[in-house]
Amino acid sequence: MTELLLKSVSFSYPDGTKALEDLTLTVPSGQRLAIIGQNGAGKTTAVKLMNGLLKPTEGAVFVGDWNTKDYTTAQVSRKVGYVFQNPDDQIFHNDVESEVQFGPKNMGFDPERVEKLTDWAMELCGIRNVAEENPYNLPYSVRKFVTIASVLAMDSDVIILDEPTAGQDRVGLDLLGKLLEELESKGKTVITITHDMEFVTEYFSRIVVMANRRIIADDDSEYIFYNHDILEESMLKPPAVAKMANLLGLEKGILTKSQLLSLIKERDIAGGR
Ligand SMILES: Nc1ncnc2c1ncn2[C@@H]1O[C@H](COP(=O)(O)OP(=O)(O)O)[C@@H](O)[C@H]1O
Ligand SMILES: [Mg+2]
């Protein structure tokens, strides 16, 4: 099993853009973690460091007991799979099934394991019915699931999903939720970058907030979405339900529709109506 550690990491792109400053983060094996924050905060850069696509300018990144600077991206990505923010940066086969099979084949898994993993990943991502299709004929939301399946099929201990909720409707979001639960039951570590605050509160108990190249909070949704300073610095908007509860003057900590409803019902009963 693989623990991740970013130790006092800074990163600058070759053109001099400073994307991360003194970032420290530990992700224990098997944990489900969300990273949130405005565009440009440094989220994608941080996760690319975790799978060895980028190497730190200062500090160190450890994947298990490997310091990523001593390993190639191909080696690190066997342990940490990364689903790109933009699916079109990742897809290069003419049909969905070949795309999903490529990773496990390339890793030298035996044919039986390749087939089993491909089936599992396609089923989990709801793309079995489009196995023969050209990924570029599919809508963006489905293409994203194709890229998720291609990473899942490689069976890495850690999986990073960069904005999987972008462009998804309710069906897609529910599918993602189920997928997260399945991966957790298999003991996988899953790191998800997302802008969907409802999704975050529904599925994640640990949330890292990034702003201006740094981590400004690492806590649960109840703490983060009721913390004025964090919301202001990160320019994030809490889930609509939290805003409503705030406006109604209800006690803190309400984040989901069902929590709000049961609180209102309780008050109705206590009020004798
Ligand atoms: N390839 C690149 N070259 C130069 N600057 C980049 C590159 N990629 C990202 N950046 C810059 O690094 C900063 C962090 O970007 P990124 O990690 O993509 O943030 P996020 O994923 O939170 O939107 C931004 O200022 C962005 O413009
Ligand atoms: Mg990004």
Ligand 1 center to 100 CA (angstroms): 28
- Ligand 1 contacts CB of residue 68 (under 6 A): no
Cα(84) to centroid(ligand 2), Å: 9
142 contact partners, CB below 8 Å, separation of at least 6: 127, 130
17 lines ligand 1 (CB under 6 A): yes
Q: Is the CB of 72 under 6 A from ligand 1?
A: no
Q: What is the tens place of the pLDDT at every residue in 76-92? A: 999 999 999 999 999 99
Q: What is the mean pLDDT of residues 130-159?
A: 97
Q: Quote the pLDDT of residue 273.
A: 53
Mean pLDDT, residues 239-243: 87
Residue of 255, 213, 265 whose CA lies nearest to 12: 213
- What is the pLDDT, as a whole number, of residue 243? 83
Give the pLDDT of residue 204.
Answer: 96
Q: Near ion ligand 2, which residues have CB within 5 Å?
A: 43-44, 85
**Band of residue 229 on the pLDDT scale cut at 50, 70, 90:** very high
- The verdict on the CB of residue 239 being under 6 Å from ligand 1 is no
Q: Is ligand 1 within 6 A of the CB of residue 39?
A: yes
Please give the structure tokens belonging to residue 155: 């069976």
* Torsions phi, psi for 191 (to 5 deg): -110, 125
Q: Which domains does the chain have, with CATH numbers?
A: 4-236 (3.40.50.300), 239-273 (no CATH)
Cβ pair 162, 44 in contact under 8 A: yes
Ligand found nearest the CA of 23: 1
Cα within 13 Å of Cα(25), Cβ side: 32
Q: How much is the average pLDDT of 169-194?
A: 97
Q: What is the pTM of this model?
A: 0.94
